Amino acid sequence: MIRIKRGRPSARSTIQNQIIQCLSEIDTPISIEALRKKISKNFGKGPSWNTVQKYLQELVEIGKVEALSTPHSKKEGEGLTVYILKR
């Protein structure tokens, strides 16, 4: 017996699909804030920075997205983390 999902999709699956779609359109790594702005531009209502960060971290853990750390020019041990779709 095949079970059909009913109702609207969860926020997790919706936002993760939006993240993957936005990352697939871009060839360069992108920060969380830039990704959040792109999602809100493409899909209307945009999620918060914390929501994008949480779901990006989940995508990194399951291996769909790769996190790249860039070093800070003046502060040792700090930097910006950018994300790209894993191929």
Domain boundaries, the chain: 11-85
Residues 6+ away with beta carbon under 8 Å from 15 = 39, 47, 51, 52, 55
pLDDT surpasses 70 at 15: yes
Across 50-70, average pLDDT: 93
Distance CA(4)–CA(2), nearest Å, equals 6
- Domain 11-85: which CATH number of 3.30.450.20, 1.20.120.1810, 1.10.10.10, 3.30.1490.100: 1.10.10.10
Tell me the pTM.
Answer: 0.81
pLDDT surpasses 70 at 1: no
